[in-house]
Amino acid sequence: MKKISVSDFIALSEHHLVFDVRSPEEYNHAHYPGAVSLPLFSNEERKIVGTAYKKQSKEMAIKLGLDFFGTKMRSMVEEVEKLCDRIQPNNKKILVHCWRGGMRSAAVAWLLNLYGYDVYLLEGGYKAFRNWVLVQFEYPYEIKVLGGYTGSAKTETLHELERLGENIIDLEGIANHKGSAFGGIGQMPQPTQEMFENILALKISEKNAQHNTNYFWVEDESQRIGDLIIPNAFWNSVRKSPLYFIDIPFENRLNFILQSYGNLEIDALKEATIRIQKRFGPNETKITLALFEDNNIKEAFHNLLNYYDKNYITSLHKRENVEHLLQKIELLEISPKTNAEMVLSSIKN
């Protein structure tokens, strides 16, 4: 068994299985991205052992833990063996962690090492990884921000920038949400806030290592994406970064919105409209809901797009030092590939 640092753990995790031996409750709240849950204790067993540790003694907690552990040894070994044979055959190297790198991970590592695995333990456990995550948001990254009104196909253009060799971080992709009140329709459930931060920090680290750079693109976002919040330090860095605003005519953006959202269930569209009624206004909300009810989808989205355009302009004017950060790029149509090329060309010029 070998104890390794967070940075070494991250490097090895790209090619070897990671096993999280914390309870299912801890794992489901948030975990190391890609880790497999291999709980030493169930949620109830963890509470029993923890209570014994606090109210009786460390020795009593260990004895109770051994009672629970003993009955699971074979099944844990077989589960690891099955996964390793399927995912990394002929490779005995595995990574294990618990909360603080204490007895739980040590016990499982001992068992798997006894069975013949080359086990690496995360020093400081998941807590050390979380500390690493929070530090990542403090670094002074060189960020370029792709902006534009709603319906400008910013996400698609961002990915075209990646195909052209640029380093990107897709915040909406990580958040499983497209950003507006309508952005969660048809998406997978959002991760927890902690899990979002874990994925984001690891993605930034991985992408920068791959490109050997501290520079990347992000899409212009509100700090809140659905139910998730972009960490303050990272958000502040984004807001102080150059903003490349792709300015596309209203009608083209409206048609793009219709292609993206026009076939969604009317009830879901109405619910999303109701969620913004305080800012949208009671009269506009009533009119737009009636348009959805009459299946006049284009006119309903026309109203909504006007609302989002006004909101974006207001937000833009509130941004500190915006006159020096903003570069508008006039474009004629929704064409992510062409528009990505135009964005890069405008930077070079």
pLDDT in tens, 155-169: 999 999 999 999 999
pTM listed for this prediction: 0.93
Instruction: Say yes or no to pLDDT of 131 above 70.
Output: yes
What's the Cα-to-Cα distance from 341 to each of 147, 157, 166, 332, rounded to whole Å? 15, 9, 11, 13
Backbone φ and ψ of 109, nearest 5°:
-60, -40
Instruction: Work out the average pLDDT over 205-219.
Output: 84
238: nearest Cα among 258, 217, 267: 217
For residue 349, what pLDDT band results from cuts at 50, 70 and 90?
low
- The pLDDT value recorded for residue 180 is 83
Say which DSSP state 168 is in: B
Tokens of 105: 């991970």
What's the Cα-to-Cα distance from 195 to each of 49, 89, 183, 234, rounded to whole Å? 26, 29, 19, 16
Q: Does domain 140-348 have CATH number 3.40.50?
A: yes
Say which DSSP state 210 is in: H
**End-to-end CA gap in the chain:** 55
Instruction: Work out the average pLDDT over 221-230.
Output: 94
Instruction: Work out the average pLDDT over 219-248.
Output: 95
pLDDT in tens, 49-101: 999 999 999 999 999 999 999 999 999 999 999 999 999 999 999 999 999 99
Q: Is 84 a catalytic residue?
A: no
Which of these is catalytic: 52, 96, 98, 243?
Answer: 98
Residue 13: HSE in the Cβ half-sphere, 13 Å Cα cutoff = 22
Instruction: Say yes or no to pLDDT of 207 above 90.
Output: no
Domain coordinates of the chain in residue numbers?
2-133, 140-348
Instruction: Say yes or no to pLDDT of 210 above 80.
Output: no
pLDDT in tens, 103-121: 999 999 999 999 999 999 9
Instruction: Say yes or no to pLDDT of 144 above 80.
Output: yes
> Mean pLDDT of all residues in the chain?
94
In the sheet with 243-247, reading across from the earlier edge strand, the strands are: 215-219, 142-148, 243-247, 326-330
Q: Which CATH superfamily is domain 2-133 in?
A: Rhodanese-like domain (3.40.250.10)
Calpha distance 268→185 (Å, rounded)? 7
State the amino acid at position 114 in one-letter form: L
Backbone φ and ψ of 294, nearest 5°:
-85, 5
Give the residues across from 232 on adjacent strands: none
Q: Tell me how crowded residue 136 is: count the other CB atoms within 10 A of its CB.
A: 19
- The pLDDT value recorded for residue 186 is 84
pLDDT in tens, 273-332: 999 999 999 999 999 999 999 999 999 999 999 999 999 999 888 888 888 999 999 999
